[in-house]
Structure 1
Amino acid sequence: MYALCDANSMYASCEKVFDASIRNKPVVVLTNNDGCICAACGIAKRMGIGKKFVPYFQVRKELEAAGAVIRSSNYELYADLSQRMMDTCARFAPDINVYSIDECFLYYGKNSAPPQEGWESLGRAIRRTVWREVRLPIGVGMGATPTLAKAANFASKKLAGFDGVAVIDSQSTRQAILSQMTVTDVWGIGNRLGKQLNFMGIKTAWDLANKSPTQIRKDFSILLESTVRELNGEVRNAWDDVRASKKEIYSTRSFGQRVTDNEVLRAALATHAEVVAKKLRKQESLASNMIVFATNSPHDSEGYFKQSYFHRFTVPTNDTRNIIKVIQAAMPSLYQSSIRYYKCGVGLMDLHREQLFQFDLFNESTDNPELMKCMDKINARFGRSTLHIAAKGFEQKFAMRREFLSPQYTTQWSDIPKIKC
């Protein structure tokens, strides 16, 4: 049996945890640089405001008229509350897989017997405990496969009569839920594939479940065949104890305000280089290739400018110092004084597993693993960028705009909530 625990409107719900004054108000959260809407609470959705990915400036007056509370993305707060949610859910199952920042799968074993209180009661206990200890509202869906657990989770939130918890543990329940789901509500099926299935007369998840898996594989792919089999209770999707390492690692972000200074652009690129180097070391990999780019906006009147710089390391590396050295070499080709830069980034490619890589006999590595380990350990203990390379500077003039940022209640000493009795 699998259970999927999924937070309701994660970002917006996180904003309400420590601020009681907005718990009964519509809350809308914006993306980087306060550009677009990325999340809206249930109250905002019922009011018909806060549609995802709509530019904020287009609906600002509408949101103000509705009395909506606007918040910039507070990633530090969301990450910490996500970890608390996952830790709480993990207590209810022998195995857990964190699928994203707001959802996790719990696994109870093959042919697992129902708990003494029953699957639905267990789901309600998980939901109640997460609310009591983390103050996040979640939906819990349970099924014999991950895809059925996803379908049950959909029912727990979207279908009448479930109130936050749904369990697919019988043929009748499976048919009742899948019959009320469109084919695009099924995990892994997007609009494009959904239109093809609709054209073939497959309108609902139940229609898809009743198709021949072999024929579906011939007409579409082995992935969709696996989905059909999972909808019928055959486990085809699984997770490894250790996730596969990434093949490429990127760090990119638009600026809070346009950048025209050479030193500021270089500091921004050095910041991205430090981020990708840390991620590279975390998955214990080495990078053979690196790309650096900088660009303005395609809507600028002076014309679109995008320049990139490619570098191949003689010896694959994960040392931040070696990666930042490439930034200095790239600057003459990236920087032009007439350009108002809007975005830049750094990417690492052709990654190798550090423990398995065979180094060149004639080219010695200049990495200092102990130094990097020391820097990562200090930053993990005392906070990001406690110790960093000087090339990124100390004042980030390029930092993204977050005009509606709420306090970082759980990660900044100055923002810890104060209770007066």
Structure 2
Amino acid sequence: MASSIPHIQACRMYWTVHLEGGPRRVNHAAVVVLDKIYSFGGYCTGENYQRKRPMDVHILNTGNYRWHALPTPEYNDVTKTTVPYQRYGHTAVEHEQKIYIWGGRNDEAACNRLFCFNPDTLTWSSPKVSGMIPAARDGHSACVINNQMFVFGGFEEQMDRFSQDVYALDLRTMVWRYIITQGDPPSYRDFHSANAIDDRMYIFGGRGDVYGPYHSQEELYSNSIMYLDTATGVWHQPRTTGDIPLGRRSHSAFVYKNSLYVFGGYNGLCDEHFNDLYQFSPVTNTWTLMQTLGKPPSRRRRQSCLVVGDRVFLFGGTSPYQGQMSYQVIEDLYNEGIDSKLMDHNDMHILDFAPSLRTLCAMIVINNQLDYSSLPEELRWELRVMVTPNSISRPLNNTG
């Protein structure tokens, strides 16, 4: 049971940069290669996701915080191309500086074809795979351990059910295999998270159902954390202490210095979005509610969080709409099939685990709107990129 008084940990973690104007994407997949972040697909409310069109790719330079979109190729027959179609609920992993996209769906069907993106050439391929290929699905998870991409859970398109199975793709031989595990696995679920720490795959959160694999609208949100020892194939459920998070789905989970962190997400039973940050220690099996400095992101779900050095880059997702809208705007959104209660984000936040004195001084200058025109050009450039919005997408104009 979670304690009634949270262990709020004082620390130097600081939300620093917040920029608008990036790709407005929800339920996308993103990965880090060297010092760049690559974001693939996802959706934006109101767009057409029935027809098949090439997946969009956005690249973030983490040095100057600038996004740019790759040109989208044109094609007619998606069954003959090596470019994946636009989708959501898919996964992206990095292995030997190449990116592998698997699963996901558009509004018509899910996919189980493997795609590979080469950041050096900015080109796609579709590697030939063999073995026991998992059924098409979305809302699954994937992580790489010892040259293998482990896939867990998700919602299977053909069987119309949640999954609790584990598959592994050997990224050297491109052979899929079904993993026979021992012990009680995590319950059937989708939109959970999976993270690799050493040889373990940690599973947290997600949406399940009281009827197990079948979707009856009676949802479950587990807050238990479990891990698969990939060396032995045995599932474990450690006994945890501390500030155990409320169950949630569509959250972000990332690993920093061998600790697992969980940000945000959504619980449908209480209809609540989150912007809290928890740390889980795999050594002590303790959860800790983290206290951060600076202004945190708004409550949201289906965003991405990527670790680059000592910083976490968070972008995209969707939140309850906070502003005021005129009747005409609400009517226009309704006519377009858009839920006016939610808004899709195009912003980016950076959480710095170890901010330097230089960064802290820059935050003072920015937050107090101090004149920095007399500073050296290098410092002025740094301050400019920290406050200059991107121009990939336009701001929402929902006010009446």
Normalization by structure 1: what TM-score? Answer: 0.23
| Larger-Rg structure | 1
Structure (1 or 2) with the greater strand fraction: 2
Structure with bigger helix share is 1
- Give the structure, 1 or 2, with the largest relative contact order (CA under 8 Å, sep 6 or more): 2
